[in-house]
Amino acid sequence: MGREGSGGDPVSVKSAPYYWLECDGCGAKADYGDFSAMSDEGSAVDCALDSEWTTDCEKHHCPRCPMLARCEVCDKPAGDEAGDRDDLCQECWDKQEGAS
Ligand SMILES: [Zn+2]
Ligand SMILES: [Zn+2]
């Protein structure tokens, strides 16, 4: 008949913002073991970095994607395969190579 059945549940569950890291390379979600997310952004990043994630301070990559690094000279993202350039960006690496 004409009975409304919606909106009557007495729930008091509240949702809070949760944070997790998502790989900028493949979109994989960080694995926090027993947790699916962290309650603050700092922990979400730190915990992921503890489990082999890498960052250049702009992007984050999971362990399966190429390592990210920040240039030790100019502090900018060092780009792909920075490990081959002692964690320098291409620009600083070229300068260093040209100087030596
Ligand atoms: Zn990835
Ligand atoms: Zn640099």
| Residue pLDDT, tens place only, 18-30 | 999 999 999 999 9
Contact 21, 44 (CB under 8 A): yes
- The residue among 88 and 100 whose pLDDT is bigger is 88
Note the ligand closest to the C-alpha atom of 64.
Answer: 1
Span 5-48, pLDDT tens digits: 555 667 788 788 999 999 999 999 999 988 889 999 999 999 99
68: exposed, middle or buried (Cβ count in 10 Å: 0-12, 13-18, 19+): buried
Beta-carbon neighbours within 5 Å of ion ligand 1: 23, 25-26, 28, 62, 65
Domain boundaries defined on the chain: 16-53
Confidence of residue 100 (pLDDT cuts 50, 70, 90): low
Note the ligand closest to the C-alpha atom of 24.
Answer: 1
> Rounded to an integer, what is the distance from CA 76 to the centroid of its chain?
16
Contact 54, 62 (CB under 8 A): no
Q: How far is the CA of 76 from the centre of ligand 2 (A)?
A: 6
